[in-house]
């Protein structure tokens, strides 16, 4: 029922700073793991982070095309994250089946 496993994810992130780019990557881990596994996830623990590519792009931004120029920087990273997952495998749990026969009045009272 309880199991632990390691899973490797390939994620990309973008941000106006290096920290925001990494925060973007780490905010994607839980939703991606939840979509991948149908089990109840108890804990997700990053074990290893490997940066595959990192790019810093700078450009000049101007208001109305020519006013107030300012230099902007964008960081794009592609990382491989290995996570340790602790989960409960719901497929291995055997549920008892019970069938309730309710009258119309009881059914109406339960709906409130």
What CATH number should be reported for the domain holding residue 96? Answer: 3.30.110
Give the pLDDT score at 101. Answer: 82
- Judged by DSSP in three states, 109 sits in helix
- Res 112 pLDDT > 80: no
Q: Does residue 64 have a pLDDT over 70?
A: yes
pLDDT confidence of 90, banded at 50, 70, 90?
A: confident
CA distances from 96 to 49, 70, 80, 99 (A): 43, 66, 42, 10
The total domain count for the chain is 1
Q: Inform me whether the pLDDT recorded for 110 exceeds 80.
A: no
Domain around 6: 2-111
Whether pTM exceeds 0.75: no
């Amino acid at each position: 029922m309880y199991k632990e496993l390691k899973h490797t994810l390939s994620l990309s992130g973008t941000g106006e700073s290096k920290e925001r780019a990494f925060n973007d990557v780490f905010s994607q881990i839980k939703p991606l793991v939840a979509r991948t596994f149908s089990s109840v996830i108890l804990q997700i623990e990053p074990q290893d982070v490997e940066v595959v590519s990192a790019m810093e792009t700078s450009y000049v931004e101007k208001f109305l095309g020519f006013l107030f120029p300012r230099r902007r920087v964008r960081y794009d990273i592609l990382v491989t994250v290995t996570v340790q997952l602790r989960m409960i495998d719901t497929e291995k749990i055997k549920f008892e089946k019970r069938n309730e026969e309710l009258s119309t009045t009881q059914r109406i009272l339960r709906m409130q």
